[in-house]
Structures are given as structure tokens and as C-alpha cells.
Amino acid sequence: MTAVYQQFSAFKCSKDCAFQFPFPKGNKRRNAKWRSPRAAIISNFHLPMRSFEVKNRTSVEEIKSLRLITAIKTPYLPDGRFDLEAYDALVNMQIEDGVEGVIVGGTTGEGQLMGWDEHIMLIGHTVNCFGGSIKVIGNTGSNSTREAIHATEQGFAVGMHAALHINPYYGKTSLEGLISHFDGLLPMGPTIIYNVPSRTGQDVPPRVIHTLVQSPNMAGVKECVGNDRVEQYTSKGIVVWSGNDDECHDSRWDHGATGVISVTSNLVPGLMRELMFRGKNPSLNSKLQPLIEWLFCEPNPIGLNTALAQLGVVRPVFRLPYVPLPLAKRIEFVNIVKALGRENFIGEKDVQVLEDDNFVLIGRY
């Protein structure tokens, strides 16, 4: 108590009762001006969860070599929870038909409708069950840099091989802000940048990408702007995956794209593999266009969710705000399946039209 009393008694009070902190004997108070701290990014300061024992177990070069990556669908039980049995069957069918990677919890997988606990659980589950057979790329992007950092730390902690990152949407930032956002994420592991202005409201321009490729963890770009942009990058050695199924054949064979991150491959993975691996095939590309056009007649993943339910490989359960395509479109899908051949689609059940009453729409889950 004596030492504590002596410490506090050392404080002196001026007439206006402002505290005057004591200085060690022999030191004089310096007349220095106080300066406000400057904003700074401390490199790698936010990476306490990363294990240096297992980091980079998947190299960036491995990710760069992937030609066919499926943005995998997330199926649901009637109460809105994940249907992991159906999910596992979907991923298995992708592996059997030669798909090399899956995007978990992307737009197609409805990551935007998941809580982060669900999101990270699904990434971990996919790694645990299939990580030895297929590359697992977790969509851990966010318009909040803080959330993106935290989710990406967790994603790599549960074993994902790479991260997919969108640019901040809705609350858009400057080009310098985009660079700072991605710079805060790239040190954690192999990363694919996703550019889809139709959803984010903001293009990630070449100036930003040319800056980011200086990072050794930058695997490449999922590009949705078009093939002119694709070639603008590939001509400079930047890896690009087409984000547009209707353009991916030409992206791959005429504009230098490595491959595609595909929605359509959920349904016909074998045909999409043929399109990406076996050279130019304008005939097959033309045959696939009616299916692709049908899939994107409404915002993705509405068409895909409807199709998978009609094929009988997932329950007809939708998390709102997504609802199934109308009856006329469901009839049209049956005809598309017959034209392409039921044997080219996943699953073994006959394709069905399904009535409106067959679908379950869930707003609380």
C-alpha cells in the first residue's frame, strides 16, 4: 500500500486541477508538439489465425492451372437448413465428371443469404469431405474489409485452398480504396478477384488489377466484363477465368482465358469440361446456348435452383427472396433437357415440370 500511495502522491495538481504526470528524476520535460497519428496499414498485422506450419499448402500456381471451376449450388431442407446429403451428392457428381474446383458460398451458392457461421461451416465441410479430390475456393468476400478479413482468416483456418473476393458493393469506394481493400486480403493466401459490375455497381478496372498482380498470392481474375477485357489481361500474362458461360468457349480458345468459373456446369459438368479441355468446338458451344440463355433469363441462381429441383437432385426449397421460374419456363426446361439429352445432365431421375405447389419458399430459417 505504501508504494501505491507514494506513486499516486507523486502526481501534482495545478490551479485548474489538470493532472501533471511525474517524470523520472534527471529528465526534463520536452517542449514537443503533439501530432495526430497518420493512417497506416500495418502489413500482415491482422493475421493471428494463420498457421505458418500449413500456409501455402496449395500453391498459387495450382490455382492458376484450374480450367473448370463450378460455382456450386447450396441445397436446402424444408426448414431452410443446409441439405448436406444433397450437397455432398452434387459435389461428388462434379468430381466424377472432371470438374477441378468449386466455389463455395458464392452468388450461385447463395452466400449472400448465409450467416458467416453457416458460410464457414460449409467451406470446412467441403474441405473435410472433398478437399483431397477437388480444389475448394471459399467466397469470403464482403463490402466490409473487416468482415472480409475475418471470414478469410477463418476460411483458410478450416482448410480452403483459395479465396474468391468481390470488390466492395453498394457502399462503393475509390480506386485507391479498392487497392487498399484487396491489399488487406491478399497476404492470407491464394486469391481470385471477382469483377462483376452488373452486381456490384462498380468495375474493377485494369489499373487496379495491374497493381494487385504484384502480390505473389494473386491467382487471377474472374472477369465478367467481356472478352476484350479478358484479352487485355491475358496478353500481359494475367490469369483470367471467364465469368460468363455464354462467352467462355471463345474466352478460352480465342482470347487466352485459362478456363471458366461456371454456373452451367452444375447441370452439365461433362459437357462444360469438353468445352474447356478438348479444343475449339463451336458446334457444342452452339448447342449449349439455349440452356445458358434459359439459366440466366432471371438473375442467377433462380434458373439453376429451378432446374436442379426439376431434375430431382435437390428438394424444391428456396430461401427468399429467390422464387422459382414460372410454369412456362419450367416446361421450356424439360424440352431443353430432351434436346441436349437427359444423359448429359446430372442425376438419374426423369426431368419433371413441377407445379407451383411443389415449391417451398422460406423467409425465416
CA distance 70 to 261: 6
* Phi, psi dihedral angles at 130 (to 5 degrees): -130, 0
- Known catalytic residue: 222? yes
Catalytic site includes residue 322: no
Q: Is the separation of the CB atoms in 296 and 196 below 8 Å?
A: no
- Grid coordinates belonging to 243: 465469368
Distance CA 225, CA 54 (A): 35
Among candidate residues 194, 236, 280, 287, the one labeled active-site is 194
β partners of residue 259: 241
Q: φ, ψ for residue 115 (rounded to 5)?
A: -75, 160
| Positive/negative CA dihedral, 216, 220, 225, 231 | positive
Cβ neighbours, 10 Å, residue 305: 27
Catalytic residue of the set 73, 87, 135, 222: 222
3-state SS string for 57-96: CCCHHHHHCCCEEEECCCCECCCCCECHHHHHHHHHHHHH
Interior/surface letters 212-221, b for 16+ CB within 10 angstroms, e for the rest: bbeeebbbbb
Q: Please spell the DSSP secondary structure of 154-207, one letter per residue.
A: HHHHTT-SEEEEEPP-SS---HHHHHHHHHTTGGGS-EEEEE-HHHHSS---HH
The C-alpha atoms of residue 124 and residue 104 are separated, in whole angstroms, by 10
Active site residues: 194, 222
